[in-house]
Structure 1
């Protein structure tokens, strides 16, 4: 088995600092001794995603425009966690309510994943919410124009296969959420 080594950070400078975007330039020494002086890192907030399931076995999705690629996507409710003000769980509950108007009695954390560990610092916190109910109107940010879409759990894999759902974080949360749901259903039959 090969013994992998971490890179050594020799110097680090914040080269762009904006509330919505921070970029750090690192000078690193590789395990082979080579020096790279321009390895750029995106400092991004953690994201909370919610696999919310209604009593009718429908998954709560949002359809919205994403300017980075200029397309409209069907994805799970998600958003940035405010690290100084909230936990990942409370951020997930807030995002679910703000984007969809749905709430759930409780959330269960099903996984923590890294979004893009090559260049980004953030994690994805995936939550499962059972018995989600419409409880209010959406409270959207100025940049958000969101349509709430309920997809029967039995149809979601077909939507992924057809390319209708193609955002990686949502797909990971769907697979893990369906797996968690299957385990819950198995536990109920024991």
Structure 2
């Protein structure tokens, strides 16, 4: 294994310190000695993202406009949080209820991943929520206009392949969640969902 070395930070200062966006400029020294004085890092809050599954084996999605790319996208409920003030699980449950009105009987941690380690500081916390059910109205922020969309588990992999679901964090959570559910054979509750290691495809997977 190659002996990789970390970069050395010589100095840092904030070039933008806004409540919605923080950017830091670092002067760094590379392992070979070269100096780069304009490496920009975006300081972002951690993100909690949740894969909500109903008792009818449907996934609760949110459909909303994303101004960064100028597109209306199909995603899983998610939002930023401060890990020093709130747990990822609590944030995921809160975002689920606020964006969809659904609550969960059980929430399981799937993974904690780096969101974009090239430039961003944050992590994304992925969760699976089982037996979610509608409990209340949405509680949306002024910038949010969200349509709740229910999609059968059997259809989500095909929608990813067709490009209808195209957000990285959402796709990662779906694949991890499907794999988790397919491996849990004790109850056999989800034995017929598309698996990452079986021969079923979105078009041929059996349905109840």
TM-score normalized with structure 1 length: 0.97
Q: Unpaired runs of 5+ in structure 2?
A: 189-208
Q: Which structure carries more relative contact order (alpha carbon 8 Å, separation 6+)?
A: 1
2:120 corresponds to: 120
Give the Cα–Cα distance (whole angstroms) in 2 for the partners of residues 111 and 171 of structure 1.
13
Matches within 5 A, 1:163-182: 163-182=163-182
CA deviation map 1:11-70 (0-9, x unaligned): 011110011100000011111110101000000000000001000000010000000010
* Number of aligned residue pairs: 188
Q: CA RMSD in A?
A: 0.9
Misfit runs of 4+, over 6 Å: none
1:23 corresponds to: 23
Give the Cα–Cα distance (whole angstroms) in 2 for the partners of residues 15 and 121 of structure 1.
16
Q: Does 1:44 align with 2:16?
A: no
1:187 corresponds to: 186
Give the Cα–Cα distance (whole angstroms) in 2 for the partners of residues 19 and 107 of structure 1.
30
1:141 corresponds to: 141
TM-score normalized with structure 2 length: 0.88
CA contact (8 A) 2:106 2:131 kept: no
CA deviation map 1:54-101 (0-9, x unaligned): 000000100000000100000100000133431111000000000000
Give the Cα–Cα distance (whole angstroms) in 1 for the partners of residues 156 and 35 of structure 2.
46
CA contact (8 A) 2:62 2:146 kept: yes
Partner of 1:148: helix, strand, or coil?
Answer: strand
